[in-house]
Amino acid sequence: MSDMKNDDSEMSDDEKLAAEWAAAMEEGEPDQSNVDDEWAAAMAEAEAADADSTAEDDMKAAPLESFDGHQQPVASGVPGQPDLDVILDIPVTISMEVGNTQIAIRNLLQLNQGSVIELDRLAGEPLDVLVNGTLIAHGEVVMVNEKFGIRLTDVISPSERIKKLR
C-alpha cells in the first residue's frame, strides 16, 4: 500500500490522468467475439426477413410517362395550354417588398430601437409584389378596414408569371 502511495506521488498529473484513461478504456472495451456474434445474428435475421417477404415480389413497376414538355394535358380545352386546375388550391406565400439594402454585420449588430435603415427605393415608388420570392406585380400601399393593403398598379401577364415560376 505504501508502494502505491509512493508511485502516485512520483507520477505527474498528466501521467495519473493517462493511467486513469487507460484503465477506463480497458474496462469499456467490448469483447470482439461478442460483437461479431451480435452482428452475425442481426444479418441472419435481416436475410430471413427478406426471404419471407413476398410483398416486393407482388409489386409491379408503374408505367412511366414521357414529360418532354411537348405533350401537355388538354383538359383546359385549349391545345398546348397546361391544365392549371390541378394546382389552383395550392397555397403560396405572397409578400410585398418596400425595398432593400446591404449593410455590414458590424452595422447590423449596432441597430437598436429608433435606428433608421435607408432603402434603395425613393419615397412614393411602387412596392414589389412577390409570390414565393418571384416578382409578379407592382403596387401602392392603401388602407383597407384599418389594415394595410396593396393596390396593384402593374401586373405581369399570366404567361410571364408561369415562366418565372419554373
Residue spans of the domains in the chain: they are 84-165
Provide φ and ψ at 53, rounded to 5°.
-80, 120
The pLDDT value given to residue 3: 46
Domain 84-165 sits in CATH at: 2.30.330.10
The pLDDT value given to residue 2: 44
Task: Give pLDDT < 50 ranges for the chain.
Answer: 1-6, 55, 73-74
The pLDDT value given to residue 80: 65
